[in-house]
Amino acid sequence: MLTKNFLQVGDRAPGFSAVAVYEQEFKQVKLSDYLGKYVILLFYPLDFTFVCPTEIIAFSEIYDQFYSLDTEILGISVDSEYCHLAWMQLDRDSGGVGDLKYPLVSDLNKQISLSYNVLNSEGKSLRGLFIIDKQGIIQHSLVNNLDFGRSVSETIRTLQAIQYVQSNPDEVCPANWQPGNATIKNTPTDSKEYFKSI
């Protein structure tokens, strides 16, 4: 019998409680508080680095689009909450991130990164992105190495596809699907309708 010893899509998202910085204040954040909403966990290596602010800012700039899709974002790194606060208080043109529309979570003890299997051998978080559904189940995971960032638009597209198939369980989304595009009925006979149209 095969045994599984790693986290994967379809598993319940590991819970956590940690200090975060939001609107220049410290607050306790629990993943369980977000049940009933979609959640994006956005792991990144370190504050005050080079690629990280581009991602953190990009997700903040279109936060309202995520919010309209009943989704919250949590940024997570192994920095302290004091480091997060200092980074937020630094202007963007000086390498800071300024005010953000979502919290940055401190994973100083590295337990969250470890539980999501994104902690590298140097003790930093890889660029892990997890989409968790309203029931607390991981529906999508993506992990990049440190030197290149993720696509915000692809994250939104993936989130929309997840929400669509969860609302329409007899349909699946083909490659490059966008809202409004044709889907595939998930039976051998009915799926032919889609394939005849392409």
CA 113 to chain centre: 13
**Which residue of the set 41, 52, 97, 129 is catalytic?**
52
CB 179 within 8 A of CB 160: yes
- Taking the chain, what is the end-to-end CA distance rounded to the nearest angstrom? 41
Domain residue extents for the chain: 17-151
Check whether 138 has a pLDDT greater than 70.
yes
31 CB neighbour count, 10 Å cutoff = 19
Superfamily of domain 17-151: Glutaredoxin (3.40.30.10)
Check whether 31 has a pLDDT greater than 60.
yes
Q: Which residue has the higher pLDDT, 94 or 37?
A: 37
The residue with tokens 């989409």 is 131
pTM of the model: 0.94
pLDDT confidence tier of residue 191, bands split at 50, 70 and 90: confident
pLDDT confidence tier of residue 194, bands split at 50, 70 and 90: confident
pLDDT of residue 190: 85
Range with the poorest average pLDDT among 17-26, 107-116, 120-129, 185-194: 185-194
Residue 52 falls in the annotated catalytic set: yes
CB 88 within 8 A of CB 100: yes
Check whether 1 has a pLDDT greater than 90.
no
> Could you give the percent of the chain with pLDDT greater than 70?
97
Write the pLDDT tens digit of every residue in 153-181. 999 999 999 999 999 999 999 999 999 99
- DSSP assignment letter at 92: G
Q: What is the 3-state secondary structure (H, E, C) of 119-162?
A: ECCCCCECEEEEEECCCCEEEEEEEECCCCCCCHHHHHHHHHHH
What average pLDDT does range 102-106 have in this prediction? 98
* Cα distance between residue 106 and residue 15, in whole Å: 14
> Could you give the percent of the chain with pLDDT greater than 90?
88
Check whether 4 has a pLDDT greater than 80.
no
CB 102 within 8 A of CB 63: yes
pLDDT of residue 5: 63
pLDDT of residue 196: 84
